[in-house]
Chain A
């Protein structure tokens, strides 16, 4: 049980670090990374919770997989937009 708690706390810590970064950082690229960090924290919490019972909880794994897909596509969109914005700034 202690190892689960440790992972849970680590996940929460990652989430909070990410949140702190989002609130304080100015650079857009860093903020995108901060959001990703928050995401990793949440997924860590979910995976840790899946191990809380003797039998692994498949529902949570399904959630993590779905969450990862959403997160990857969102990050891709954010990076594409950021790239376009940078290029536009260089041109203009």
Chain B
């Protein structure tokens, strides 16, 4: 358990330390410290992951209180993997923020460290109220990060803040109702005692609504594109790759552990159907988007559809393979999306416009960034042998087993076509040779290669697929 705790505590401490240190030191040492901390946190997470291979589940009760009162932190193979994933993405984004020309203001460093630590706490938390606190912190830190790109981001940031507060309150009310009914906050203690009555259903609906709003799940996704597209590039990458996954994690725990089994089976198809709607609706919006970054942001809405579908079918069929598919999606999407935002930011800067039409001729003006964009996009589509393909393959298995399940497979099919359409809409334009705008033919090589890095990792992920599937199948549920 200790490595996992240090993986969480290191970024939290670093964030607080930087806040205390003041702007001057933040500017000078922020980047270096953040990089060191994310590497150290990643190593600790790796050790935690190794330790889960021997004993599948470990826990710690904070503060010396007895069970039920204390804050319970628990470590499974899944949470260890998510710790590692968080540290990896944070480190990759920090590299980009530190070494490319898309630098960030000094306040970015403590905030990104706090974001990392909060997410780590979220992966490890075992009770509903503690999850509320991490959720709220996550929202506040995200808003603070959003405001970094100056006045144009303030309105989306404020809008995001208000909605995020309302969503957390919905969640909190649900927690209160559950506590009133059962006198428990601990997820593990709650699972098994909940009954399928009106009060529990009300609580679950409230919590689900709040979480879906926070995770920008269709149909509560309206706030996301403006917020993610207006942020500085590094922040967009963090928000899309990591932040929306937090509420998803809570939603998964809520429905697969707290909710009574018969209710979960009823709710499953609804989630899955909403997932298909997200894939198609979000994909269509992405296809129509006039800006590069909104295209990428809407694709987050669409891709969350796969996760919802996997979650819904996991609840519906109680099929463990869906659990593997869900978390493979989360990891593959995180890597691909980080790469897409970094590439988009670099291309925008090189061609001097935020509009999609600026991509014309991008294979010549910003070749490596455009290649990274296409490679990461290939994983979103699910082209083999990428991480996106791996997760889609795992998802498809049970869908195709029985002819009665084929309609769900048709949903995946449509989702793939729509994602191919919006990714290649951008890529085709980049090969246009006629209308090159020569604004600034001075692409930043470091930024381009740093954008490429996560894209290469997501393709490499497919080759380590066997281990990932084993880890997720072993200690997740």
Contact = CB atoms under 8 A, between A and B. Distances in A.
* A and B interact physically: yes
Interface string B52-89: 00000000000000000100000000000000000000
Contacts of A6: none
Interface of B: 69, 129, 132-133, 136, 139-140, 143-144, 147, 151, 154-155, 157-159, 161-162, 165-166, 168-169, 172-173, 176-177, 179-180, 185
A35 B185 contact: no
Contact of B169 (A32, A42, A78, A84): A42
B70 to A, nearest CB: 11
Interface of A: 15, 19, 22, 28, 31-32, 35, 38-39, 41-42, 45-46, 49, 52, 59-60, 63, 66-67, 70-71, 73-74, 77-78, 81-82, 84-85, 88, 92
A28 B162 contact: yes
A77 B161 contact: yes
Nearest to A78: B161
Contacts of A74: 136, 139-140, 161, 165
Nearest to B161: A78
Query: Which of B161, B168, B172 gathers most chain A CB within 10 Å?
Result: B172
Contacts of A15: 169, 173
B176 A49 contact: yes
A73 B140 contact: yes
Given A74-B136, A77-B144, A88-B151, A31 B162 contact: yes
Contacts of B159: 28
Contact of A45 (B136, B151, B173): B173
B133 A66 contact: yes
A73 B141 CA distance: 12
Contacts of A71: 165
A59 B66 CA distance: 13
19 contacts: A32-B162, A39-B169, A46-B176, A52-B180, A59-B185, A60-B176, A63-B129, A63-B179, A66-B129, A66-B133, A67-B132, A70-B136, A74-B136, A74-B140, A74-B165, A78-B158, A81-B147, A81-B154, A81-B157
A51 to B, nearest CB: 11
